[in-house]
Structure 1
Amino acid sequence: MKKTLVTLVSMLLVTGMLAGCGNSDTANSANGGEKSNSGDKVYKIAYIARAQSDSFAAWLANAVKEEAKKYPDIKLEVFDGQANDDKENSMIENAITNKFDLVIVQPNNGEAQRPYVEKVIKAGKFAITTNARISGIEGASSVDADPYEQAGVNARAAVDQIPQNAKVVVLNGPSGNFHADKRRESWQKEFFDKRPDVQIVGEQIANWNKDEAMKYMEDWVQANDRIDAVISMNDNMAAGAIEAVKDNSKFDGMLAYGVDGTLEAFQLIKEGKMTSTCLQNAFELAEKLLDTSNKLLTGAEKQVDTDIGNPLITKDNVEEYIALLEKAEALK
Structure 2
Amino acid sequence: MSDKVEKTEREGRRNFLKGIALGSAALGGGLVTPDLMLGSNGQAQAATSDEMVKMAFVQIQPHTVSSAWSVGLEEVLSTQQNIDYKQLDGQNKVEVQVSLIDTLINEGTKVIFLQPIDSVAVGPSIKKARRRGVAVITLNIDASEEHAAHVEMNHYYGAMDIAKEMGKRMGGKGKVAILNAPPGIIIRDQRTNGFVDGMKKYYPDIQIAADQVADWSRKKAQDVLSNILTAQPDITGVYGVNDSMALGAVDVAKQKQILDKMVIFGNDGETAALESIERGELTGTQFTDVYQQGRFAAAAASVFVSGGVTAKDFKKQAKLLMPYTIATAENVASIQPAQRW
Could you say which TM-score interval applies, normalised by the shorter chain? 0.7 to 0.9
* Secondary structure at the counterpart of residue 249 of structure 1: coil
Gaps of 5+ in 2: 1-36
- C-alpha change, 1:242 and 1:83, in structure 2 (3 Å) is farther
Write the distance in 2 (CA, Å) between the matches of 1:277 and 1:292: 28
Residue matched to 1:258: 266
Residue 101 (structure 1) aligns with: 110
Give, in whole Å, the separation in 1 of the partners of 2:277 and 2:243.
Answer: 11
Do the aligned partners of 1:35 and 1:41 also contact (CA within 8 Å) in 2? no
Q: CA deviation at 1:48?
A: 0.8
SS state at 1:111 partner: coil
Deviates more, 1:213-222 or 1:259-268: 213-222
Counterpart of 2:326 in structure 1 is 312
Aligned to 2:53: 43
2:144 corresponds to 1:130: no
String of CA shifts for 1:179-203, please: whole Å, max 9, x gaps.
2211111111111455443333432
Pick the structure with greater CA Rg: 1
Shift of 1:223: 2.9
Q: Report the Cα offset of residue 166 of structure 1.
A: 1.8
Q: Is the 8 A contact 2:225 2:249 kept in 1?
A: yes
The secondary structure found in structure 2 opposite 1:246 is helix
Q: Provide the rounded CA distance (Å) in 2 between the counterparts of 1:197 and 1:231.
A: 16
Which of the residues 265, 275, 295 maps onto 1:267? 275
- 8 Å CA contact 1:111–1:176 kept in 2: the answer is no
Following superposition, the deviation at residue 231 of structure 1 comes to 0.9
CA distance in 1, matches of 2:266, 2:70: 20
- 1:148 aligned partner: 156
CA distance in 2, matches of 1:174, 1:292: 31
Return the offset for 1:39: 1.3
Give the Å deviation of 1:82: 3.0
CA 1:255–1:109 in structure 2 vs 1: closer, same or farther (change >3 Å)? farther
**Cα 1:200/1:139, change in 2 over 3 Å:** closer
Q: 5 Å matches for 1:184-195?
A: 184-192=192-200, 194-195=202-203
Indicate conservation of the 8 Å contact 1:145/1:307, yes or no. Answer: yes
Which letter does structure 2 place at the counterpart of 1:159?
Answer: G
Instruction: Give the Å deviation of 1:78.
Output: 0.5
With normalisation by structure 2, the TM-score equals 0.78
For 1:125, the aligned partner's letter is: V
> Does residue 96 of structure 2 align to residue 82 of structure 1?
no
- Shift in alpha-carbon separation, 1:73–1:134, aligned structure 2, 3 A: same
- Cα deviations across residues 188-241 of structure 1 (Å, max 9, x unaligned)? 111145544333343223333323322312322333324311112221221122
AA partner of residue 305 (structure 1): K
Task: Check the 8 A contact 1:167/1:199 in 2, yes or no.
Answer: yes
Looking at structure 1, the residues matched to 38 and 203 of structure 2 have their Cα atoms a distance apart, in angstroms, of 59
* Highest RCO, 1 vs 2 (Cα 8 Å, sep ≥ 6): 2
Please give the alpha-carbon distance, in whole angstroms, between the structure 2 residues aligned to 1:98 and 1:191: 49
The alpha carbon displacement at 1:161 in A equals 1.8
- The letter for the 2-side match of 1:318 is V
What CA distance in whole angstroms lies between the structure 1 residues aligned with 2:93 and 2:249?
24
Shift in CA distance, 115/213, structure 1 to aligned 2, threshold 3 Å: farther
TM-score (normalizing by structure 1): 0.79
Structure 2 counterpart of 1:156, which letter? Answer: K
**Superposition pairs for residues 317-332 of structure 1, below 5 Å?**
317-326=331-340, 328=341
Match of 1:285 in 2: 293
Aligned equivalents of 1:34, 1:174: Cα separation in 2: 46
* Aligned AA (2:331): N
Shift of 1:273: 1.3
Unaligned runs of 5+ in 1: 1-27
User: Higher mean Cα deviation, 204-213 or 263-272?
Assistant: 204-213
| Partner-residue secondary structure (3-state), 2:255 | coil
Pairs within 5 Å for 1:217-256: 217-256=225-264
Q: Is the 8 Å Cα contact of residues 149 and 310 (structure 1) preserved in structure 2?
A: no
Q: Which position in structure 2 is the counterpart of 1:197?
A: 205
Map of 1:114 onto structure 2: 123
Alignment CA distance shift 1:258-1:114 (3 Å): farther
Counterpart-to-counterpart distance in 1, 2:198 and 2:204: 12
Aligned partner letter, 2:322:
I
Q: Please say if residues 166 and 227 of structure 1, whose CA atoms lie closer than 8 Å, have aligned partners that are also in contact.
A: yes
8 A Cα contact 2:287 2:326, kept in partner: yes
Contact preservation (8 Å) 1:167, 1:229? yes
Residue-pair matches, total: 298
